[in-house]
Amino acid sequence: MKVRSRSLALFVVIILVFALLVPTAQAQQKRLVTIASGWVVGVYYPLAGAMSRIIHTKMPGLRATVESSGASVANAQLIGSGDADFALLQNDIAFYAYNGVTLGAFKGKPVKNMGGIFTIYPELVQVAATHASGIKSIKDLKGKKVVLGPLGSGTEANALQILEVHGMKEADLGKVERIDAAAAADQLKDGRVDAAFFTTGLGSAVIVDLSVTGKVGLVPVVGAEAEALKRKYPFYTSEVIPANTYKGQEREVTTVAVMAMMVARNELPEDLVYGFVKTIFENLPTFYTAHAQAKGLKLETAVAGMPIPLHPGAAKFYKEKGVLR
């Protein structure tokens, strides 16, 4: 009987130890989420990387991996398909995607499982042209070799809309390329194209790199055409690129811009997204080290220019902070 009692006692101890270890092992498991960013040479990628690092160190139950992508349009599609959990994209593209309008990629095919998280900074449409091309205005692009941006990207949409208000179509250009930012920069440096559109933050690495060559300048988007663009597409604003932002840029250049923003899949739990947003705002100094444009993220302007409904987790956070009523 004593042997049986000892065996039974040992069995009970083993069960208790196992019961204690299982929750510990489960607690050590982290939920994995993905953040769709953009070009490695753009602004989205370092911002997403900073968010991933903050989450890794400050949210023990969550791990975020960053995926390079074709940026705005591709990122909205990744959210829609469930292949990304969070994504950075332009606010105009978010509007088109959510409402299923304007762009061929979304027309009649709305991405309704996308919730807003926060807006961050203005993304300027920076049109770079080689000095050798003689291009000084958008109308000078006629007959030239031009990169419109990656196929299906937000940059491509911006380029076509800008051409439209200048009374031009794609067919008016001499040759059109649809390639990513890094490839476009290489072709500009080599003189294989005359100009390229880049929708990206002020001080973006790709424009900095181009300016160092001394072969490229920026083309303004101004005047009646810019005003017509803003009337037709109200997401646009006019922004100034201050003189000396880039090497050799001695004068300020005015262009148009949209807003960079963060979205999440609405299927993500409210508490997960709430924790994500809360953690980022509690660690803004760390986020700001990622890139100069990161400093555009502020609690008081976090929903400015928000074109779609907020994710419930984000809405809960902003209500607690008094940003929303």
Q: What is the pLDDT of residues 170-197, one digit of tens each?
A: 999 999 999 999 999 999 999 999 999 9
Query: Does some domain include residue 111?
Result: yes
Number of domains present in the structure of the chain: 2
Lookup result for tokens 């932002």: 245
β-strand partners of 32 = 63
Do residues 130 and 140 share a domain? yes
Rounded Cα distance between 126 and 217, Å, is: 10
Residue 199 DSSP class: E
Assess whether 208 and 287 both reside in one domain. Answer: no
Tokens representing 305 are 């220019």
Would you tell me how many other CB atoms lie within 10 Å of the CB of residue 41? 21
Which two structure tokens, joined as six digits, stand for 297? 């993220």
Answer yes or no: do 191 and 253 share one domain.
yes
Spatial separation of the C-alpha atoms in residues 32 and 200, rounded to whole Å = 28
- Backbone phi, then psi, for 163, in 5-degree steps? -60, -40
Quick check: is 18 in a domain? Answer: no
**Please, are residues 241 and 255 in contact by the beta-carbon 8 Å criterion?**
yes
Do 103 and 61 belong together in one domain? Answer: yes
In-domain check, residue 89? yes
Does 134 share its domain with 99?
A: no
State how far Cα 125 lies from the chain centre.
14
Residue 242 sits in a domain of what CATH number? 3.40.190.10
Give the residue from 258, 276, 296 where a domain finishes.
258
Q: How far is CA 189 from CA 30, 42, 61, 70, in A?
A: 44, 17, 46, 22
Asked if 248 and 270 sit in the same domain, the reply is: no
The continuous run of DSSP H or E covering 286 comes out as: helix 284-288
Choose among 112, 129, 173: nearest CA to 309: 112
Print pLDDT tens along the chain (325 aa). 444 555 544 444 344 444 444 444 444 468 999 999 988 878 899 999 999 999 999 999 999 999 999 888 899 999 999 999 999 999 999 999 999 987 778 989 999 999 999 999 999 999 999 999 999 999 999 999 999 999 878 899 999 999 999 999 999 999 999 999 999 999 999 999 999 999 998 988 899 999 999 999 999 999 999 999 999 888 888 999 999 999 999 999 999 999 999 999 999 999 999 999 999 999 999 999 999 999 999 999 999 889 999 999 999 999 999 999 8
* pTM > 0.85: yes or no: no
Beta-carbon-side half-sphere exposure of residue 309 (alpha carbons within 13 Å)? 11
Q: Residue 159: how many CB atoms within 10 A of its CB?
A: 28
Count Cα atoms within 13 angstroms, Cβ side, for 219: 24
Pairing of strands 237-241, 253-265: antiparallel
Residue pair 203/292 in contact by the 8 Å Cβ criterion: yes
- One domain for residues 197 and 89: no
Domain boundaries, position 105: 30-121+259-320
Residue reference for tokens 């009337």: 231
69 near 37, Cβ under 8 Å? yes
CB within 8 Å of 172: residues ≥ 6 apart: 141, 142, 143, 163
The answer to whether the beta carbons of residues 256 and 221 sit under 8 Å apart is: yes
- Quick check: is 1 in a domain? no
Strands (E) across 49-183 are located at 62-67, 86-90, 114-130, 145-147, 175-177
Length of the chain: 325
